[in-house]
Amino acid sequence: MNILIIGVTGLLGSEAAEQLRLKGHKIRGLALPPLPKGLNLSPEIEVFFGNYITGDDELFNKIFTDIDAFIFAAGIDERIEVPAPALEVFNKYNVDPLKRLFHFAKAHGVKHSVILGSYFTHFVKTRPELHLTKHHPYIQSRQLQKELALSQASDNFSVALLELPYIFGTQPGRKPVWVFLVKMLKKMKGATFFPRGGTAIVTVRQVGQAICGALTQTSGGVAYPLGYYNLTWKELFTLFHKYMGVPKKPIITIPNWLFKIAANNIKKKQKKDGFEGGLDLPEFTKMQCSKQFIDANLAAISLGVKEDNLEQAIAASVQQSVNAMNKSNDYIEMKI
């Protein structure tokens, strides 16, 4: 197939591009300059530079010409704080551009699409009592993204939405998303204090495998809750400590109410500064202090996701996060 990747030079987009290229597909991509330092993108991949939000019709007609499938590997995540109302910002990057992308895709006869979303939409469905879309702008935007994407599916146009959990792995020259977590752990001197709970995890390589599988297996519209490994926060932070050089640092499990006090303090500061986060942190305590686990058999195995070296991926992510903190000018990060 001829495949267009929106966000082809990003962490997930570049991995998907390489895996698909090796399977014999022809890859075209749209990306924002500059390229990350050290990124080794194959010369066989055709790259157009432009903005998927503000690009004109000429650009979109050009990139969608002779394309069989497109992958949306762009957007922003919940880590950012933005001027309220936050939902408008998240929709601007995660939802609104998709309407235009689908329009051009169908106008050019594209038959398949893969949209990279968030595992929070899986929990919107499985944990309705938490009212996640009511409280959290980021999750609401991802749910709107999911509903929009699946509404575009038909007998002649497949839509696969991957509900992605925590992802570990690195790309040369790109600041890992995990810098915020390394900073948090560094600030806690003597011991790490965190509540119970945990998360589903996949590696970057596994996301690429899932994209490949979703492209060939999906008919109609399907949301795939992607998970392969499930770690408690204590298990995950033990690995972070190891590769931060403090393997003996104790991890003390705190009650949920104590975590909520800290979350309230963060929210108060955000409000005072005129900002709003993607997650309402006090309300998110219910989710954060639970096991946000996803069984690999729900989707990953059927999509062809294979066992990977998770510890190696976490180690690389932590070590590059530390490097990015010390040499910030050498790394690019999520743009907004």
**pLDDT value at 33 more than 90:** no
pLDDT in tens, 61-78: 999 999 999 999 999 998
Question: What is the mean predicted confidence (pLDDT) over 161-173?
Answer: 96
* Run of H or E residues at 87: helix 86-94
Amino acid 38: pLDDT: 85
Amino acid 84: pLDDT: 84
Amino acid 332: pLDDT: 83
Dist CA 220 CA 222 (whole Å):
7
Question: What is the mean predicted confidence (pLDDT) over 124-135?
Answer: 97
- Classify domain 2-330 by CATH number: 3.40.50.720
3-state secondary structure of 219: coil
| Residue extents of the structural domains in the chain | 2-330
Least trusted range by pLDDT, from 40-44, 312-316, 325-329: 325-329
Q: What is the mean pLDDT of the chain?
A: 95
Dist CA 60 CA 145 (whole Å):
20
Question: What is the mean predicted confidence (pLDDT) over 144-172?
Answer: 97
**pLDDT value at 315 more than 90:** yes
Ranges of H-type helices in 95-152: 96-107, 120-126, 132-135, 137-151
